[in-house]
A = this chain, B = another copy of it.
């Protein structure tokens, strides 16, 4: 693909993220994206046939990062180390994508569309398992679900005054306490 085509594709993705955050997935049309970029709807169609294609392109980098974190976490020895790796990786991912995560995690239209993404369903189940395994039974499951939804949701407007480093550190501290994980000794 020529670099110009890649650039304009990325430009649509960037504008789509802004509009999804402002109007939700269901409230954003390809026409609105075309208007915001200042092109015709046909120019958007050239890259994305549907809004669903565009949402898939928006979340693809996040999905790839989550997959890497899950695979690394699953390779750790012991369920506490696995949960801690999942927690710290997820906290970092959420902080690096604050506004988008708050949308993707909560938007019913986006969630509905993403639920049909077979990879993503599998990844969410593996994330929950990694975090829930520390405490077998419903208690572990509920804490894992609160952690995933709460961290993504808390990345939004309420905590907008906290800088990224503080937020990351506090997410990890809160997650460890919720799951009952000890703070690992720092390597010296």
Contacts and interface: CB of A to CB of B under 8 A. Distances in A.
Interface of A: 20-27, 102-103, 105-109, 111-112, 115, 124, 128, 138-139, 141-143, 145-154, 156-159, 162, 166-167, 170-171, 173-174, 177-178, 180
Copies in the complex: 2
Contacts of A159: 141-142, 145
Contact of A145 (B21, B25, B150): B150
Contacts of A23: 26, 108-109
Given A23-B26, A138-B166, A162-B138, A147 B150 contact: yes
A142 B145 CA distance: 16
A146 B151 contact: yes
Given A21-B108, A149-B150, A149-B154, A138 B177 contact: no
Most chain B beta-carbon neighbours within 10 Å: one of A102, A146, A147 = A146
Contacts of A27: 24-27, 108-109
Contact of A174 (B26, B115, B146): B146
Contact of A107 (B107, B128, B170, B174): B107
